[in-house]
Structure formats: C-alpha cells, structure tokens
Amino acid sequence: LLIIIRGFPVRKFLQRFSIVFFSSHFLFLSSVSTRSMASKTPVGFIGLGNMGSPMAKNLLRNGYPVIATDVFPESCKGLLDLGAQVVDSPAEVAEKADRIITMLPSSPNVIDVYTGPNGILKKVKKGTLLIDSSTIDPSVSKEMAVAAEKMGAVFMDAPVSGGVGAASMAKLTFMVGGVEEEYNAAQELLTCMGANVVYCGQVGSGQAAKICNNMLLAIGMIGTAETMNLGIRLGLDPKLLAKILNMSSGRCWSSDTYNPVPGVMEGVPSANNYQGGFGATLMAKDLGLAQNTATNTKTPIPLGSLAHQIYRVMCSRGYANKDFSSVFQFLREEE
Ligand code: NAD
C-alpha cells in the first residue's frame, strides 16, 4: 500500500478508485432497488389454481395490492372478493405491475403465459422482476430468462415444496434460481408466502432441486402405500402399523405427515377420498421432468422411472385428478 505509481500514492489511488467503484456500484444497485424499495406497489399474479390462489391471498394479507389473471376467470373470484384487481391477460398484468409471480401447471403453460400473443413479454416494463413458481423443465426456465433479458426484464425460477395447506399457511419452501443480485428483491415477496426461501444458484437450479425432491417424494409415497397394503393383508391394523413405522427406520414424510391409507390420519387427502392436495397428473408430470433431465445427463434413475410409469398408468385409469397418495387405492385395485 506504500507503493507509489508514477508518483501517485496508492492510498490516494485507492480512494479515487473506491469513489468510482462505489458510485458505479451504487448506480447498479439503484437500478435494481428502485423496484424493490417500492415495496407495497402492486404485484402481478398469474395462475390462481390450488396453489396460486392461497399464495396470492398471502401477498394481499401482507399489504401488497395484487393484479391477477387466470385463463379461467372464475378462479379469481376469491381474490376479487379480497380486493385484488382482476384483468384479462398476462400482457395486461405486465402493463400494470413491475413484479410478477406465475404459478402454472406445466412448461407449455409457462411458455404461453410469457411468450404467447397475449403474454407477459409483449408488454413487460424494463427492470420488471418475473418469478415463476411453477414446476417446469429447467431448460424452459433458462429459455424464459433469455427471452426476458432481451426485453430488459429479469426472470427467476422459484418452484415450491409444500402442498395446498402449506400455501395457505405461508409455510412453503421456495427453491430459487437466477441472478444473485436480484435474490433480495425476490425474497421480499417470497417470505410473505413461505417459511423457507433458499437460493440454489443460476437460473434453472431451483427447478433442478424441486425435480429431485419430487422424484424422492413419489418413490417414498409408492413405497409407503405398498408397505401399508402388505401390512394390512398380513392382518395388521393400519393405525398400529403406521405408528410402528413412524417410530422405526421406515419412517418418511409419506408415512408420518401424509399417510395414504384412509382412516390413519385426519386432514390429509386420504381422509377426504383423495380430493384436493397434489394431483397424480402433476406428479406424473414432475416424474417426466426427472426422466428427461436424467436422460440428458445420462443418470440412472431406475426407481424414478418406475414411479413415472406407475403414475402414468394411474392417470390413464381414472386417478388423474386424485391426490398422488391415491396410489394406495390403485394398488388395492390391482389386487
Ligand atoms: P392448478 O392446475 O390447480 O392451477 C394452475 C392454474 O393456472 C389454473 O387455475 C389454470 O387455470 C391456470 N392457467 C393455466 N394456463 C394458464 C394461462 N395460459 N393463463 C393464465 N392462467 C393459466 O395447479 P396447482 O396445483 O396450483 O400447481 C401449480 C404448479 O405448482 C404446478 O407446476 C405444480 O406442479 C406445482 N406444485 C403444486 C403443488 C400442489 O400441492 N398442488 C405443490 C407444489 C408444487
């Protein structure tokens, strides 16, 4: 630090440099933070289904005005009653909000909502933060990020873990991928809807984490369902068997929190004829994503592939709209 460059003391150089550095950094930060500092400006929300609806309600509860749209306008009724503004298309949402969250079923819906003729990117404002919480193919998240960047907007993937109950109680876990500098702005909104917000890395990495989790969830659910079924056939009382599993090494989320056998637990889809919750179609879709990514990376996933086939068969045999824990009922019917 005592070195002199051409007679110019380094300390002075560093002082000058830091002014330039900090002022350019400040300029950068100020462009990022104009949006996030305006914390109670309207937030756009697209896709008001099982998950999107309670998530958007939590934004309203936290004082954020919400501008919403869904391809089925009746899905927005609950939000409208709570004071949200409902508009006709994603493009209209983009005209009115500079932070937008999407919660859609699958990759084609996301492509349509972002890049379609009435899509967000048709009217998006420069600097807008776009957060997609749908579970989709990581490569589609990357494509959307590139398309958004061309319009001067920022796209992040933030898929969730936790079902409809967790969405209602703002207890979701968000897995976030995207530009790290934008993470704080995303976090401000996501903490209104979730208990855990985890930064995973570059865009698409939130989806990667989510797909891995759901593949394990499916394998665990099928394993729990066939184990419970075998125990019942061996004459064990299902509640007793669940109790023993849950104090033993076979315990997992599907056995202790979301048991698939009717009568074992209350407040779960198996207690309600497998209505609500996480549909078998969505699980089949997530396993398809796991299969694609495993094929692309030459990764063996024998149990993930089998789970995919089981959920696909279920969907073609009338289970498509039942909760994914209905695999227990499916296995009973197979007998
Ligand atoms: P859903 O089908 O209940 O809701 C999706 C909503 O998006 C629907 O209201 C639909 O009308 C709307 N939509 C579809 N296309 C649209 C378009 N072009 N424009 C506007 N709206 C459109 O699905 P969900 O259960 O809310 O799940 C959403 C996402 O979250 C999925 O990717 C799912 O895999 C994931 N997820 C769901 C759960 C769960 O327990 N349900 C849990 C974790 C993650």
Type of residue at 318? G
Question: Could you tell me if the CB of 282 is within 6 A of ligand 1?
Answer: yes
Place of tokens 């019917």: 333
Average pLDDT, the chain: 90
pLDDT tens digits along 55-111: 999 999 999 999 999 999 999 999 999 999 999 999 999 999 999 999 999 999 999
Question: Could you tell me if the CB of 119 is within 6 A of ligand 1?
Answer: no
Among residues 203, 75, 59, which one has the least CA distance to residue 143? 203
At 84, phi and psi to the nearest 5? Answer: -75, 155
Which of 74, 103, 164 has most ligand 1 atoms within 8 Å of its beta carbon, as the pocket-test mutant? 103
pLDDT tens digits along 198-247: 999 999 999 999 999 999 999 999 999 999 999 999 999 999 999 999 99
Contact 130, 186 (CB under 8 A): no
Q: Is residue 16's pLDDT more than 60? A: no
Place of tokens 């903490």: 191
Cα–Cα distance, 155 to 159 (Å, whole number):
13
Structure tokens at 93: 């949402």
Among residues 248, 249, 250, 228, which one has the least CA distance to residue 239? 228
Type of residue at 281? T
Cα–Cα distance, 78 to 89 (Å, whole number):
18
Query: Quick one: fold of 209-334?
Result: N-(1-d-carboxylethyl)-l-norvaline Dehydrogenase; domain 2 (1.10.1040)
pLDDT tens digits along 163-185: 888 999 999 999 999 999 999 99
Instruction: Give alpha helix (H) positions in the chain.
Output: 10-37, 52-61, 77-81, 90-96, 107-115, 120-123, 138-150, 164-168, 183-190, 205-233, 238-246, 253-256, 280-296, 302-314, 327-334
Tell me the whole-structure pTM to 2 decimals: 0.86
Which of 74, 160, 254, 282 has most ligand 1 atoms within 8 Å of its beta carbon, as the pocket-test mutant? 282
pLDDT tens digits along 281-333: 999 999 999 999 999 999 999 999 999 999 999 999 999 999 999 999 999 98
Place of tokens 């932070």: 99
Q: What is the CATH number of domain 39-202?
A: 3.40.50.720
Question: Could you tell me if the CB of 289 is within 6 A of ligand 1?
Answer: no
Q: Where does the pLDDT of residue 41 fall: very low under 50, low under 70, confident under 90, or very high at 90 and above? A: very high
Active site (annotated) includes residue 40: no
Domain boundaries of the chain, sorted by first residue = 4-36, 39-202, 209-334
Q: Percent of the chain, pLDDT > 70?
A: 88
User: Which residues partner with 4 through β-bridges?
Assistant: 9
Residues 6+ apart with CB under 8 A from 78: 48, 53, 57
CA of 102 to the centre of ligand 1 (A): 9
Question: Could you tell me if the CB of 53 is within 6 A of ligand 1?
Answer: no
How, if at all, do strands 66-69 and 43-46 pair?
A: parallel
